[in-house]
């Protein structure tokens, strides 16, 4: 008899952990748990989720006449109030009690409704909403914190002690009503003849952990979701920071070219300003991280039309673009920045000028890009640290790292006097996945 009672208490903890895991699988519930402030409609939705799962546990016990370990009406009502407030707790308590009321356990309704309101009171008493998730069922640890911490932290620990006492009070109330009004309220009690205080205390400890376990499971889910959101925001912030480096860099170089032409060739300066305004207008309209290669090539043509005005016949551009790659997605502004680097660092100091070549091909669902110049080249010492220094190549490398992780390749081949070749290999992206990125 005693062994069966203790097994029931252990099984109850397994059931509540399982139900908590099932409940949090729903994306709507996961979003609800991430919110601390909810509208009335959201509270009602949360109440329906809690009621559905925990009322089913009560109904299972009522219909079967056994399986006492699955009845989690008290825990569900209290948790609904703790997480959703008075409205959620009250409504959940009423709905969860319906199977028991239909079975003739009429005191279950006021008991669970009242415990739902008690959960709402606990929520209001929390110094900070996060303190609910930090609750520990180990009273000795809470007492130690109360004695050792400062005044501000003591308020948090005092709340946790009150939280601890409220759960024990909820179980005491159920036990008292169950003893006084038999068959009106379902409760777990030790087998007759066992008066050991430790056996009687087991049900209180069980209820304490049955309330705490779902909080810990849901808090882990919340923390994982928060980490994912923080990583996404960090990635977006890094991309925005890198993009903000690109546009001023391009604008600065172009305005320098304009300023050099104002006195010597005003007409060309006006044409260059007109071209620049077209490019900037396009940049202001574009906020995506990815663009089709076709659009990037059109942008490069506009950019080079400005640079040709500056360099004249000294600057030549050749492209060998596989038609199969035109609709493939590439990081926005990436190719323009590499070509700008070739002109600025490879060709601008070369008296006779030179050629920039762009090639693209598709192989094994990956896009291969190459930007090459026949300029002055890069020394071996500088080449070794090129990916970590400067704005141009290092910016491209950092963007690729943020966007693709380790699923990309970028390598540079150069030597003084023979030019520079930059090759990039990235995975083929679908337009919908690129929009998410």
What domains are defined for the chain?
2-229 (no CATH), 262-436 (3.30.565.10)
pLDDT of residue 381: 78
Residue whose tokens read 């400062």: 150
Residue 415 pLDDT more than 90? no
pLDDT tens-digit readout, 352-375: 888 999 999 999 889 999 999 998
Question: Comparing 162 with 384, which gets the higher pLDDT?
Answer: 162
Question: Comparing 360 with 304, which gets the higher pLDDT?
Answer: 360
What CA–CA distances, in Å, run from 165 to 139, 159, 172, 326?
10, 10, 10, 67
- Which residues neighbour 242 within 8 Å (Cβ) at sequence distance 6 or greater? 395, 398, 399, 402
Residue whose tokens read 């559905």: 52
Lowest-pLDDT choice from 124-128, 153-157, 167-171, 312-316: 153-157
Residue 433 pLDDT more than 50? no
Residue 434 pLDDT more than 60? no
Q: Which residues pair with 318 in a beta bridge?
A: 357
Whether the Cβ atoms of residue 257 and residue 268 lie closer than 8 Å to each other = no
pLDDT of residue 436: 42
Residue 389 pLDDT more than 80? no
Structure-token pair, residue 337: 């920045």
pLDDT tens-digit readout, 91-131: 999 999 999 999 999 999 999 999 999 999 999 998 888 88
Band the pLDDT of 147: cuts 50, 70, 90. low
Average pLDDT over residues 275-287: 71
- Which residues neighbour 272 within 8 Å (Cβ) at sequence distance 6 or greater? 254, 257, 258, 261, 306, 309, 310
- Which residues neighbour 220 within 8 Å (Cβ) at sequence distance 6 or greater? none
What CA–CA distances, in Å, run from 381 to 39, 344, 385, 418?
61, 19, 7, 16
Q: Please provide the average confidence, as pLDDT, over all residues in the chain.
A: 83
pLDDT tens-digit readout, 224-264: 887 787 777 666 655 565 555 555 666 776 788 788 778 88
Question: Comparing 249 with 63, which gets the higher pLDDT?
Answer: 63
Whether the Cβ atoms of residue 97 and residue 176 lie closer than 8 Å to each other = no
Residue 88 pLDDT more than 90? yes
The Cα–Cα gap between 419 and 378 comes to: 8
Residue 286 pLDDT more than 60? no
Average pLDDT over residues 139-151: 59
What CA–CA distances, in Å, run from 10 to 18, 65, 189, 423?
13, 19, 14, 61
Band the pLDDT of 73: cuts 50, 70, 90. very high
Residue 169 pLDDT more than 90? yes
Band the pLDDT of 15: cuts 50, 70, 90. very high
What 3-state DSSP class applies to 320? strand
pLDDT of residue 170: 95
């Amino acid at each position: 008899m005693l062994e069966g009672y203790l097994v029931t208490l252990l099984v109850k903890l397994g059931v509540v952990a399982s139900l908590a895991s099932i409940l949090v699988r729903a994306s709507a519930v996961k979003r609800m748990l991430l919110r601390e402030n909810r509208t009335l409609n959201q509270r009602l939705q949360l109440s329906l989720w809690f009621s559905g799962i925990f009322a089913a546990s009560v109904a299972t016990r009522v219909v079967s006449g056994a399986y006492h370990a699955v009845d989690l009406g008290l825990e569900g009502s209290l948790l609904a109030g703790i997480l959703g407030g008075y409205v959620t707790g009250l409504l959940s308590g009423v709905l969860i009690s319906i199977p028991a009321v239909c079975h003739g356990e009429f005191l279950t309704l006021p008991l669970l409704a009242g415990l739902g309101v008690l959960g709402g009171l606990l929520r209001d008493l929390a110094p900070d909403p996060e303190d609910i998730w930090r609750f520990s069922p180990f009273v000795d640890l809470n007492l130690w914190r109360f004695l050792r911490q400062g005044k501000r932290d003591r308020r948090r620990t005092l709340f946790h002690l009150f939280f601890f006492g409220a759960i024990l009070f909820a179980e005491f109330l159920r036990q008292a009503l169950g003893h006084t009004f038999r068959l009106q309220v379902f409760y777990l009690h030790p087998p007759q003849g066992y008066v050991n205080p430790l056996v009687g205390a087991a049900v209180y400890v069980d209820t304490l952990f049955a309330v705490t376990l779902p909080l810990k499971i849901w808090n882990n889910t919340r923390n994982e979701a928060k980490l994912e959101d923080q990583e996404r925001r960090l990635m977006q912030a890094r991309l925005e920071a890198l993009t903000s480096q690109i546009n001023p860099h391009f604008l600065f170089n172009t305005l320098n070219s304009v300023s050099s032409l104002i006195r010597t060739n005003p007409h060309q300066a006006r044409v260059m300003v007109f071209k620049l305004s077209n490019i900037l207008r396009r940049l202001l309209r574009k906020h995506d991280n990815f663009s089709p290669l076709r659009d990037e090539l059109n942008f490069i043509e506009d950019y080079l039309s400005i640079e040709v005005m500056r360099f004249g016949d000294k600057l030549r551009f050749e492209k060998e673009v596989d038609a199969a790659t035109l609709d493939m997605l590439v990081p926005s502004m990436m190719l323009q920045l590499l070509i700008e680097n070739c002109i600025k660092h490879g060709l601008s100091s070369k008296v006779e000028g030179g050629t920039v070549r762009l090639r693209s091909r598709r192989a094994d669902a990956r896009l291969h890009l190459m930007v090459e110049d026949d300029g002055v080249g890069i020394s071996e010492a500088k080449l070794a640290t090129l990916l970590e220094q400067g704005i141009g190549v290092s910016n491209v490398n950092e963007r690729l790292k943020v966007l693709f992780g380790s699923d990309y390749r970028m390598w540079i081949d150069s030597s003084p006097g023979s030019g520079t070749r930059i090759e990039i290999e990235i995975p083929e992206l679908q337009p919908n996945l690129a929009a998410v990125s």
